[in-house]
Amino acid sequence: MLLRDGFPGQRFRVLARPTVDVARKSPVTKRFLVTDAGYFPHAAAHGRIRPRGAAETIVIICTGGSGRLTVDGIEYVVTADDAAIIPARSAHQYIADVEDPWSIWWLHATGPDADELARVIIGAGNDPVLRLRDTRSATSLVERVIDTLEIDDTSATLLDAAGLAWQLFAHLAADRLRGHADPSDRIKEVQDYLRANLTSNLTVPELARMAAVSSSHFSALFKSSTGMTVTEYIKRLRSARARELLMTTSATIAEVGERVGYADAFYFSRQFRSVNGISPRDFRRHVMRDAL
């Protein structure tokens, strides 16, 4: 027999249906609303079968043990550090492993924003199971949702919970867009280096050596992880820092360019314009005008 709940140490909150109906007609929560959230530790025999799916998108984050998930007839294994995303109205069933039952944080969310974010999380490969890069960050958001719903079910509280859950969905979507995490996180190390060394002029082959891969493989990994080439990534990092300097210092355009890695002020201006659609001088002028 499958158990819906009743696990020692569990926590969960479920909104009353009339409360959900009102919230789904209210500003903001009509676009994104948490209806249920919880934590089931060592959930032996836990499982659900929903041939017609659920009205909400379901997120399950596994922190220990394992379970099996079937969505639209396809079975997946869910293990520690995995997130499972079940789209609203999708036929599904899930069950904790018999010998090593999972521990899970979970929530249900409804609304067009939840539906759209779920599609991004599942991705073009239509894969409902996502390997997390930072499980603790994801579970802490679910925990904060539960903490919030335990206060009451006023409009203010539901709005607060929706914001936290929206952040969770965005966090999961970003993980999907970044692609599969590399075990040694080599690309992230290069990104960290580039952020800390804006004036560095290391070439792609040099950065590839830093990541201990070939140049061609590095370029492919980098674009898969960031969605852009190394050159574009560096240009955007430098542009962000340049905007900050233009807004907060009296440094000349040439000095700002040098501080972010451009020895030639004219080249800096062209690069800045390609990202911001405006020259550094005009950017500063507009900022100063708007600040008055």
Instruction: Give the CATH architecture of domain 186-291.
Output: Orthogonal Bundle (1.10)
In the sheet with 66-71, reading across from the earlier edge strand, the strands are: 47-50, 92-96, 66-71, 74-79
Give the SS3 label for residue 79.
strand
Cα 154 from Cα 18, distance rounded (Å)? 12
pLDDT at 112 exceeding the cut of 90: yes
Q: What is the mean pLDDT of the chain?
A: 92
What is the model's pLDDT at position 183? 42
pLDDT at 114 exceeding the cut of 50: yes
What does the pLDDT look like over 125-136, one tens digit per residue?
899 999 998 899
Query: Domain coordinates of the chain in residue numbers?
Result: 11-178, 186-291
Cα 167 from Cα 90, distance rounded (Å)? 23
Do the first three CATH levels of 11-178 and 186-291 match, i.e. the same topology? no
Domain spanning 11-178 has what CATH number?
A: 2.60.120.280
What does the pLDDT look like over 31-67, one tens digit per residue?
999 999 999 999 999 999 999 999 999 999 999 999 9
Q: How many residues belong to the chain?
A: 292
Other CB atoms within 10 A of residue 143 CB: 16
